[in-house]
């Protein structure tokens, strides 16, 4: 039986988008894009198609789309071969035209109990009548390390990515609105690049082969989607970091895993260089990131695989363990001291969701907001051996700004606010809007995938929900 070709929307702008089609083994990839708006198409849609290596994956770059317009996307297959349909909504040109709708996801383990959470997220969005302009996946879309497997390294990473894109997994959610991706450790294995005791493929003799296979499949299945026309970054090095504009806002999606060195600096990727100090990312990405921070125009959206407010633990290191973290914080603090600019960090990883705000008391329009959404579906210790969940009690949401010494060094005098937090399976929603006068507001929500309602706020009183509107500028 011929597999059904499916379209997965990638990064998007007001008039451009990228789409991945798989599986498709033809010599050309005929794609059909139809406006769902009653208004006529902006102009004739144009496409440019590329086949990835010897795979059955095609990348399609789409041009001449109309801003703030919904489109259906499907393959035009030969008679008798069905094709699934994806939906996108192009972002408005500016926030004064319409609000920008973003969603944030991280950490999807397809356990027997929770694998349907992706479909539950889509149901919530459909109920809200929202097709997100962009969904941001902040890492751990697959768990390459659990459950343990005797399959070959090639088969493990290939099959787990393919499974993730199935319709009863994340595939149905991927097809509902555009997507951008970063990776975290589980795209490789827990605590990558350090070894993990239950995985022989992470030991000294095998770790590089495992890394290369993990990188190849992550980029083909996810990272390549980050580079629609107008967005640029690490595509030529098969790295997912990317930056550009969306609705005239500055966006930077980082890659803080692919070139991360081990704690002892002995494990380095080819892009890490030959430094005597551990590094978090390539020099090219760091230079581009620092320049981006310096040139953000009023509001910057920064996607990270791990939160800023996070200390390393015995089973994994954190951003603060690397010199690049200090340089990044220094650049953020300098800009927030010298000009009116707000940075919104969008991240996951920690298996609970939260919203925190730092504000410059001297320059109130300068804020550092961190929005965490995680997990889509929780993982537990029993998952090392099976898809059965056994995580015990939900994670504790206790949080103290003083627990991160480096952030206190750079932002110690800033006003601090804990807004809300949840330890339910969750995803985040951020709606950004502007008035004609130029003021901008951000509406933040965390949605419980267990109750399919706004998550209970563990930092609040009684039945407060994880929902808040912040004045950004």
Tens of pLDDT, residues 377-388? 988 777 777 887
C-alpha torsion angle, residues 32, 37, 39, 44 (rounded to 10)? -20
DSSP letters along 315-372, please? TB--GGGSHHHHHHHHHHHHHHHHS--EEEEEE--SSSEEEEEEE-SSSTT-EEEEEE
Beta-carbon neighbour count of residue 453 at 10 Å? 12
Q: What is the pLDDT of residue 39?
A: 61
Tens of pLDDT, residues 293-339: 999 999 999 999 999 999 988 778 999 999 999 999 999 999 999 99
Q: Cβ-count burial of 159 within 10 angstroms (0-12 exposed, 13-18 middle, 19+ buried)?
A: middle
First to last CA, the chain: 55
Tens of pLDDT, residues 35-78: 987 665 545 676 787 888 767 888 999 999 999 999 999 987 66
3-state secondary structure of 42: coil
CA 80, distance to chain mean position in Å, is: 36
Q: How confident is the model at residue 109 (pLDDT cuts 50, 70, 90)?
A: very high
Of the chain, the percentage scoring pLDDT greater than 70 comes to 96
d(CA 111, CA 98): 38
Of the candidates 114, 130, 138, the one whose C-alpha atom is nearest the C-alpha of residue 371 is 138
Residue carrying structure tokens 């902006």: 42
Residue range 212-228: mean pLDDT, rounded: 96
Tens of pLDDT, residues 252-272: 999 999 999 998 899 998 888
**Bridge partners (DSSP) listed for residue 471:** 441
Q: What is the pLDDT of residue 4?
A: 79
Q: How confident is the model at residue 2 (pLDDT cuts 50, 70, 90)?
A: low
Q: How confident is the model at residue 473 (pLDDT cuts 50, 70, 90)?
A: confident
Distance (Å) of CA 20 to CA 56, 61, 149, 277, 440: 10, 9, 28, 38, 33
Q: In this model, does residue 428 exceed pLDDT 80?
A: yes
Distance (Å) of CA 457 to CA 268, 321, 376: 41, 30, 17
Residue carrying structure tokens 């967005």: 231
Residue range 141-168: mean pLDDT, rounded: 92
pTM metric for this prediction:
0.96
């Amino acid at each position: 039986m011929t597999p059904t070709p499916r379209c997965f929307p990638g990064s998007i702008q007001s008039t451009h988008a990228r789409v991945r089609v798989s599986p498709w083994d033809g010599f050309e990839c005929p794609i059909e894009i139809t406006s769902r708006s009653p208004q006529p198409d902006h102009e004739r849609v144009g496409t440019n198609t590329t086949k990835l290596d010897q795979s059955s994956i095609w990348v399609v770059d789409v041009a001449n789309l109309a801003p703030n317009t919904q489109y259906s996307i499907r393959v035009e297959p030969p008679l008798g071969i069905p094709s699934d349909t994806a939906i996108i909504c192009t972002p408005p040109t500016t926030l004064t035209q319409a609000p920008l709708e973003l969603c944030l996801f991280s950490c999807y383990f397809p356990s027997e109990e929770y694998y349907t959470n992706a479909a539950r997220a889509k149901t919530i969005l459909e109920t809200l009548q929202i097709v997100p302009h962009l969904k941001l996946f902040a890492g751990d879309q697959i768990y390459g390390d659990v459950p343990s497997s005797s399959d070959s390294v090639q088969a493990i990473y290939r099959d787990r990515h393919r499974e993730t894109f199935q319709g009863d997994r994340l595939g149905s959610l991927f097809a509902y609105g555009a997507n951008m991706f970063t990776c975290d450790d589980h795209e490789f294995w827990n605590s990558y690049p350090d070894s993990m005791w239950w995985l022989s493929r992470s030991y000294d003799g095998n770790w590089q082969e495992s890394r290369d296979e993990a990188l190849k499949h992550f980029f083909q299945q996810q990272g390549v989607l980050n580079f629609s026309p107008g967005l640029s970054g690490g595509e030529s090095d098969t790295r997912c970091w990317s930056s550009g504009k969306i609705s005239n806002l500055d966006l930077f999606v980082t890659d803080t895993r692919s070139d991360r060195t081990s704690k002892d600096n002995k494990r380095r990727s080819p892009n890490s260089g030959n430094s005597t100090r551990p590094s978090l990312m390539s020099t090219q990405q760091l230079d581009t990131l620092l320049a981006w921070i310096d040139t953000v125009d009023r509001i910057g959206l920064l996607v990270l695989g791990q939160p800023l407010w996070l200390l390393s633990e015995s089973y994994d290191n954190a951003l603060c363990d690397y010199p690049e973290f200090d340089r990044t914080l220094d650049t953020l603090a300098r800009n927030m001291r010298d000009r009116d600019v707000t940075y919104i960090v969008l991240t996951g990883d920690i298996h609970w969701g939260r919203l925190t705000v730092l504000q410059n008391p001297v320059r109130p329009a300068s804020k550092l907001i961190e929005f965490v959404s995680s997990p889509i579906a929780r993982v537990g210790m029993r998952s090392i051996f099976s898809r059965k969940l056994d995580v015990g009690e939900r994670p504790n949401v206790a949080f103290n700004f003083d627990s991160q010494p480096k952030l206190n060094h750079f932002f110690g005098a800033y006003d601090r606010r804990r807004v809300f937090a949840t330890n339910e399976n969750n995803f985040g929603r951020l709606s950004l809007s502007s008035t004609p006068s130029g003021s901008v507001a951000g509406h933040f929500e965390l949605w419980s995938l267990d109750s399919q309602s706004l998550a209970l706020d563990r930092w609040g009183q009684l039945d407060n929900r994880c929902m808040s509107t912040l004045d950004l500028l």
